[in-house]
Amino acid sequence: MQDINIKITDRNGVTHDVVAPTDMAMNLMEVVRSYELAEEGTIGICGGMAMCASCQCYVNSDNKLPEMTDDEDAMLAEAFNVEDNSRLGCQIQMTPEMEGLEVTLAPEI
């Protein structure tokens, strides 16, 4: 088992140092949920299927992220508050390559 260290800035602007496991098939949205960094019911509404954009985040570090799928790209085309560094948290798996990841949660819609 290998844990990784990531920084998540919540919707109130508070940055949290978070330790995330890489052996539980978790994605970033699930990490946010497990640490309760966003109010229940406001993140991962679709369950992590790239269908709601409630887990949109801005990636501030230069980690090599998984390539964006068509579904994620389509969802971000419809979402609000989208920036060039926007990704859906549900599509970012916690792997050793995510060590040092820094993200900011997009505003709730």
Partner 1 sequence: MITTDILIIGAGPTGLFTVFEAGLLKLKCHLIDALPQPGGQCSEIYPKKPIYDIPAYPEILAGDLTHKLIEQTKQFEPGFTLGERAETIDKQEDGTFIVTTNKGTKHHAKIVAIAGGLGSFEPRKPLIPNIADFEDKGVEYIIKEPELYRDKKVVISGGGDSALDWAVFLTDVASEVTLIHRRNEFRGALDSVEKVQELKNLGKIRMITPAEVKGIIGTDKVTGVAVEKKGEDAFIIDTDHFIPLFGLSPKLGPIANWGLEIEKNAIKVNNALDYQTNIPGIYAIGDVNTYPGKLKLILCGFHEATLMCQSAYKRIFPNKKYVMKYTTVGGVDGFDGTRKEAPKAVVKAIE
User: Footprint of partner 1 on this chain (CB under 8 A)?
Assistant: 39-42, 45-46, 49, 51-52, 54, 70, 73-74, 77-78, 80-82, 109
Output 45 or 65, the one with its CB closest to partner 1: 45
Q: How far apart are CA 21 and CA 58, in angstroms?
A: 21
Tell me the closest approach of the beta carbon of residue 46 to partner 1, in angstroms: 6
86-88/56-59 β-pairing: antiparallel
Across-strand partners of 19? 5
69, 92 contact by CB (below 8 A)? no
CB of 108 to partner 1, least distance (A): 11
- Shortest reach from residue 67's CB to partner 1, in Å: 16
Between CA 16 and CA 97 the distance in angstroms is 19
2 versus 39: smaller Cβ distance to partner 1: 39
